[in-house]
């Protein structure tokens, strides 16, 4: 008899590696890792001050999903470095596990009939959200850290909504499948029971265990070997990614990180650079001493300061890292400049009632030209408009003549080449329409 070799045929998928236990082990690994990635992702979103307008408020319709948002703290000063390093590094590390898990159940994607009961039909629909949502959040995340903003609209919004869809479907999936997965994993250790790996003793096995090959091909590896292969892939990614959170020789191990290994040069400015001055069109002409002025806007009107005016104000030092949403970070750098709260004072705000601030770069276009900081960030004595780093004037690429640096904040809020600072209430409390 001729084989019917359509993917929907039970004999089409022949790898003997597929099986309930294999799938379950991968699923449990994801179940440990994904909640950590999700939680650090929610923190990352909160760290953006997403409910400050006009710049950061890109998800005004986030509704209940944004209900957990809280003012991002400034302590400990390495907070975002840790949470975002974990978010990106662990996310990348889980990719082989996710792909192997999907591979292990792919025959079920083609199963006919798609479902025998209404409950199964509904579950299969939720798998669309699970698989689609999972692939979507991982793909958008990886594209973002590669600086490829291929998706239309805001990355934050897409990744944020995608994550909620994915996690909601995941919660349902876990509720439905966890007991069977735990049984499948225990089975190997305990006394043999029925068809061991086949899932044949499970009620509803025709659905749940359908990834076992009916007519397995000759094995080229054992299931244990396949798990080692997946684990080794994860370790390889971990080992070639984690280094981007560290300075010194470790950074050179971050082979796969787009910004992880680029040599930023030696000297006081010799640490990671995201965008260079040239790449965003900031020229030496417009940052020259005779030309550049900082505009401070507040109740006192507009105050214009030259770089030497700023240098004549009380100078303070703070040791703070740059920690990018892409997951890379630097160790603490020694920044020196004027306190943001002192500038709020110059703009006419009384000491003790420091407001939010909207910072604009002299860079004319691009996503990072404006950023909003919350009052608690402005008030922190370590939050500076830095003029120097590591004992020398800022280099052009690190934001000369002046840049913002705030403890524990995502790198993108540390605006470079600052031209204007508006000190006023930016949060929803006064917003009216929300």
Ligand X SMILES: Nc1nc2c(c(=O)[nH]1)N[C@H]1C(S)=C(S)[C@@H](COP(=O)(O)O)O[C@H]1N2
Residue from 245, 272, 377, 383 touching ligand X (CB under 6 A): that is 272
Site map 216..255 versus ligand X, x via CB under 6 A: ----------------------------------------
296 forms beta bridges with: 303, 421
Sign of CA dihedral 26, 31, 37, 41: positive
Residues 6 or more apart in contact with residue 44 via CB below 8 angstroms: 80, 83, 84, 87, 325, 410
Count of other CB atoms within 10 angstroms of residue 60: 15
Q: Residue 417 and residue 398: Cα distance in Å, rounded? A: 8
- Which of 25/409 has CB closer to ligand X? 409
Tokens (6 digits) for 190: 């305990």
Residue pair 390/333 in contact (Cβ under 8 Å)? The answer is: yes
> Is 411 one of the binding residues for ligand X (CB under 6 A)?
yes
Phi, psi of 47 (to 5 degrees): -65, -20
> Is 174 one of the binding residues for Mo ion (CB under 5 A)?
no
* Closest residue to bound ligand X by CB: 411
Count of other CB atoms within 10 angstroms of residue 332: 14
Residue from 287, 361, 377, 383 touching ligand X (CB under 6 A): that is 361
- Which of 170/280 has CB closer to ligand X? 280
> Is 275 one of the binding residues for Mo ion (CB under 5 A)?
no
Q: Which stretch binds ligand X (CB under 6 A): 133-141, 346-354, 361-369, 426-434?
A: 361-369
Q: Which stretch binds ligand X (CB under 6 A): 34-42, 183-191, 342-350, 360-368?
A: 360-368
Residue from 40, 274, 287, 377 touching ligand X (CB under 6 A): that is 274
> Is 398 one of the binding residues for ligand X (CB under 6 A)?
yes
Task: Give per-residue burial for 348-367: e unless 16+ CB within 10 Å, then b.
Answer: ebeeeebbbbbbbbbbeeee
> Is 412 one of the binding residues for Mo ion (CB under 5 A)?
yes
Contact residues: Mo ion, CB under 5 A: 324-325, 411-412
- In the complex, the residues that contact ligand X under the rule CB under 6 A are 272-275, 280, 322, 324, 361, 363, 366, 368-369, 398-399, 411-412, 414-417
């Amino acid at each position: 008899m001729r084989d019917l070799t359509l993917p929907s045929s039970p004999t089409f998928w022949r790898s003997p590696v597929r099986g309930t236990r294999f799938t379950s082990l991968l699923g449990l690994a994801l179940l440990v890792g994904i909640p950590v990635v999700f939680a650090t992702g929610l923190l990352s979103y909160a760290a953006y001050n997403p409910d400050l307008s006009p710049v950061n408020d890109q998800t005004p319709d986030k509704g209940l999903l944004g209900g957990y948002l809280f003012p991002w703290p400034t302590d400990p000063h390495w907070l975002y470095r840790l949470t975002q390093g974990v978010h990106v590094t662990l996310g990348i590390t889980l990719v082989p596990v996710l792909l192997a898990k999907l591979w292990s159940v792919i025959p079920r994607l083609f199963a006919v009939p798609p479902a025998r009961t209404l409950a199964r039909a509904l579950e299969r629909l939720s798998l669309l959200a699970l698989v689609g949502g999972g692939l979507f959040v991982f793909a958008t995340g990886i594209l973002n850290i590669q600086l490829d903003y291929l998706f239309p609209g805001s990355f934050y919004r897409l990744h944020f909504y995608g994550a909620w869809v994915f996690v909601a479907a995941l919660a349902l999936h876990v509720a439905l499948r966890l007991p069977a997965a735990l049984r499948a994993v225990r089975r190997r250790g305990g006394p043999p029971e029925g068809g061991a790996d086949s899932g044949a003793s499970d009620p509803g096995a025709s659905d749940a265990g359908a990834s076992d090959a009916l007519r397995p091909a000759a094995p080229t590896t054992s299931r244990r070997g396949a798990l080692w292969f997946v684990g080794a892939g994860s370790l390889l990614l971990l080992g070639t990614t984690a280094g981007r959170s560290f300075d010194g020789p470790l950074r050179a191990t971050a082979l796969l990180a787009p910004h992880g290994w680029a040599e930023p040069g030696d000297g006081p400015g010799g640490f990671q650079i995201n965008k260079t001055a040239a790449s965003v069109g900031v020229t030496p002409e417009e940052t020259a001493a005779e030309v550049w002025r900082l505009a401070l806007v507040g109740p006192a009107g507009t105050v214009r300061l030259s770089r030497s005016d700023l240098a004549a104000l009380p100078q303070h030092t703070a040791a703070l890292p740059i920690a990018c949403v892409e997951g890379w970070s630097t160790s603490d750098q020694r920044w020196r400049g004027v306190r943001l709260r002192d500038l709020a004072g110059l703009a006419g705000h009384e000491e003790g009632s420091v407001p939010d601030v909207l910072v604009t770069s002299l860079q004319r276009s691009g996503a990072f030209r404006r950023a909003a900081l919350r009052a608690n960030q402005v008030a922190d004595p370590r939050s500076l408009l830095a003029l120097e780093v590591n004992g020398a004037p800022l280099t052009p690429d690190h934001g000369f003549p002046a840049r913002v640096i705030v403890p524990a904040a995502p790198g993108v809020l540390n605006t470079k080449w600052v031209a204007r600072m508006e000190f006023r209430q930016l949060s929803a409390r006064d917003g009216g329409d929300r």
